[in-house]
Homo-oligomer: A and B are copies of this chain.
Amino acid sequence: MARRTGRRPGNQDTRQAILDAAREAFSERGFDAASIRAIAGTAGVDPALVHHYFGSKDQLFLAAMNSPVDPGELLPKVLAGDQDGIGERLVRTFLGVWDSPAGNAGVALLRSAVSNEWTARLLREFITTQVLRRVLDQLDVERTELPLRGSLVATQLIGLAMMRHVVRLEPVASADPETLVAAIGPTVQRYLTGPLPS
């Protein structure tokens, strides 16, 4: 197997042990309840080494997910600007990632999530803690409505990725991104800030 960095094999084994422990902890306990301390304990290393290798808990989670992108870097652009445009900007950014080489990792993640309950749980934690929480925190809506709003957004975006990149249903599969932004942006906007069923 190709090594991704020039680090020595010994370090690679340690990194892998940490990633394995992290995947297990994030999947079984969820992102919030999983602790760097417990992950380090499972991997048999000092917590400081986990921070040294991977940085924050968010960054460790992204590494454990093999995420090719960091929503924490992408989302500020989506959230900057008027609240009425978040839907379109979120769809545009989402398509930008999926239409890039990073989309292959996304397809691999979807494949794994539909066949493996463990990965499905990681994907759920990723969507919730890395994407939705950051977006929802910025909205001027009832706090109690946030979980439903967030999961509705997820239905539309994951379905877009499925149809465009996995099932490849035309014309969505090869449509100009801006056509999809114009068509689907208002849906995401309504889920985020529009009226919800009581």
Binding site for B on A (CB under 8 A): 107, 110-111, 113-115, 120, 123-124, 127-128, 147-148, 151-152, 154-160, 162-164, 166-173, 175, 178-179, 182-184, 186-187, 190-191, 196-197
Contacts and interface: CB of A to CB of B under 8 A. Distances in A.
Q: Copy number in this complex?
A: 2
Contacts of A196: 183
Given A111-B115, A196-B183, A155 B160 contact: yes
Contacts of A186: 190
Given A148-B175, A155-B159, A127 B169 contact: yes
A174 to B, nearest CB: 10
Contact of A114 (B114, B170, B184): B114
Nearest to A113: B167
